Amino acid sequence: MKPISRRAALTMGGAGLVGTVVGGTGLWRELSTSVLDPVAGVPFTEPEVLRSTGGLLDVRLEAALGSHEVAGREAATLGFNGGVPGPTLRLRPGDTFRVELVNRLDRVTNLHVHGLHVSPEGNGDNVFIAVEPGRAHRYEYRLPDNHPPGVYWYHPHHHGTVADQVFGGLYGAIIVEDDEEIPVDRERVMVVSDITLDSDGSLVSPSTMEQMMGREGELVLVNGAAEPDLKGRVGERERWRVVNACTSRYLALRLPGQRARVVGRDVGRLPQDVALEDVELAPGNRLDLVVDLSEGDSELSAMPVDRGGMMGQMMGGGPMPGGGGPVTLARLRVSASDNRAAGEIPPGPTVRDLRDADVDGRRSITFQMGMGMGGMMGGGDGPMSFTFDGKEFDGDRIDQQVGLGTVEEWTIGNDGPMDHPFHLHVWPMQLVETDGQRVREPLWLDVVNVPARSRVKVRVAFEDFGGRTVYHCHILDHEDRGMMGTVLAT
C-alpha cells in the first residue's frame, strides 16, 4: 500500500470540521491519496527566453489549460504559452514592455508584474482589470531609467482566483539586467513552485483546511521538473536567479559543499553579499545567488520552515505548515578541471537608505485572523476570517491614502499564530525593524515576512507613480479570502 501523503494526513486531520472543496474552475479533482509519481533527475532546462531589443519587449502570453510536462509526466495543468513556467522575460531599465494577455481559461484572469516599479493605472500593473474568458487585454509598462536590476516575476492577480491559478501553473520569471554584470561562466533561472497532481496528472483540489493554512503542494518543482540535474566544472562561477513561486511554501535553501553567496534580494543588488544560510524566502520573494563550484556532488535543498499553525489545526491535529523533512530541489554534479579560482565577488552599488530621511507620515496595519461566524454556522468560505484590521478586502474602498512624493513609515503587525508575508505593489519597502530589532544594513524588499505575534517596520518612498493598487498577504489563499487592502497615492 502506498504511504499516505502529507496532504491526505492534513485533510483527514481536519475531518469533521471541514471537507474538500472544488476550486471552482472545473479543473480540480477531489481528494486522492494517490499522487503523481514524478520522474526525477532529468537534465536541467529553462523556459524560453524573450528579450527586449531596441528598448522594447512586445510579447503575447496565452493563459490556458493544456497538457504540459510536469515532473517528467504528462499532466493537465494551467500554463502560459504552453509551458510551466511561462517564458522568462528579460528587460533593461528604461525599456517599454507590452503584453497581450489572452485568456483561454474558463474563469476571469489578469496579470501582475510582481516587484516591478511601474504605474498601477490604466493598462499598467492594474490588478483591478478583469480579462474575461475568451477575451484579450493589452498591458503596457515603462520601466524607469533607474529601475533596480534584479529578479522579478509575473502571475495572475484577479481577487478570489489567484491561489488556484498560480498553484495550477500560471507564473514566469522577469529579469531586469544590470548595467555592470557580475562576470560568471553560466547563468541559470530557477522558478521554484509546488503543485499537487493525482496519479493521472490532474490537479487535486485543496481541502478547506489547506486553504485556511495556505496550501503546500506534494510536488516541489524547479522549472516544472523534479530534482533536475545540473552539471558544472570546478572553479566555474554560476549566477542563479531564484523565484519562490509557491502559493504558501517558505524556502530555506541549502547547497552543502559549495560556496553560495546571496548578492541580491527582491529589489536590486545587496551592498555586500551574504551567506545563503542567512536568507529565507517567503512566498513571492526572490534571490540572486552566486555559486563558486567545488568538486563533488551536492543537492540544492529546501529545509522545513515553521510558519506557525492555527489552534492545533482547528483541533484536528495533522502536520504543521512547513512541516516534514528537507525537500531536494535539484542535484549538482561538479567535475574536476584546472582548479582555477573565480576571485572575489564585486561589491554591489551604494544602496539608498531612508532611515535618515524625513518621515511625512506613520501608520499601522495589522494582519488579523478570526473565527468566521458564517463558516461556523455552515455558510461563508470557511471557519476562519482573514483581514487587515478586521476588514476583508473591498475593491471599492480606499484603505490607505498617501501623498505622492512622501516617505512614510508603516508598522505592520501580526496578531495571529501564523507568519504572514506582506507584499506592497509598485513601491518597494526598506525593512528597518523586526520585532524591535533594527536592521543593520539597508534592505529593500517587496515581500516582507511578518512573524507570528510580532511587528515589523518598513519605510516606503511613494514616488514616480500615483494611482490605486493593493497590499496583501502573499500566502495566496489568505489573499483570496480577504487579507488584502487598497492604497491610493495622489
Rounded CA-CA distance 328/253 in Å is: 10
Give 325's pLDDT tier (boundaries 50, 70, 90): confident
pLDDT at 27: 56
Alpha helices in 143-204 (DSSP H): 162-167
Please count the structural domains in the chain.
Answer: 3
Domain residues for 136?
A: 49-176
Rounded CA-CA distance 91/98 in Å is: 11
Residue 3 lies in a domain: no
> Are residues 306 and 420 located together in one domain of the fold?
no
Residue 156 lies in a domain: yes
Show which of 176, 202, 234 is a domain's final residue: 176
The domain that contains 241 carries what CATH number? 2.60.40.420
Cα 130 to the center of its chain, rounded Å: 21
Residue 181 lies in a domain: no
> Are residues 124 and 236 located together in one domain of the fold?
no
> Are residues 58 and 170 located together in one domain of the fold?
yes
> Are residues 192 and 154 located together in one domain of the fold?
no
> Are residues 386 and 294 located together in one domain of the fold?
no
pLDDT at 1: 31
> Are residues 60 and 194 located together in one domain of the fold?
no
Check if the beta carbon of residue 13 is closer than 8 Å to that of residue 317: yes
Residue 251 lies in a domain: yes
> Are residues 127 and 201 located together in one domain of the fold?
no
> Are residues 318 and 391 located together in one domain of the fold?
no
> Are residues 196 and 328 located together in one domain of the fold?
yes
> Are residues 314 and 374 located together in one domain of the fold?
no
Higher per-residue pLDDT: 309 or 483: 483
Residue 195 lies in a domain: yes
Residue 345 lies in a domain: no
pLDDT in tens, 27-40: 555 545 578 999 99
Task: List C-alpha distances in Å: 249 to 48, 182, 239.
Answer: 25, 30, 23
> Are residues 221 and 257 located together in one domain of the fold?
yes
Show which of 301, 317, 335 is a domain's final residue: 335
> Are residues 136 and 263 located together in one domain of the fold?
no
Number of H helices and E strands in the chain, helices first, is 6, 30
- Percentage of the residues of the chain whose pLDDT score is greater than 70: 87
pLDDT in tens, 351-377: 999 999 999 999 999 999 987 544 333
Residue 264 lies in a domain: yes
Residue 91 lies in a domain: yes
Task: List C-alpha distances in Å: 35 to 24, 85, 204, 214.
Answer: 21, 21, 9, 19
pLDDT in tens, 54-111: 999 999 999 999 999 999 999 999 999 999 999 999 999 999 999 999 999 999 999 9
Show which of 298, 318, 335 is a domain's final residue: 335
Check if the beta carbon of residue 115 is closer than 8 Å to that of residue 157: no
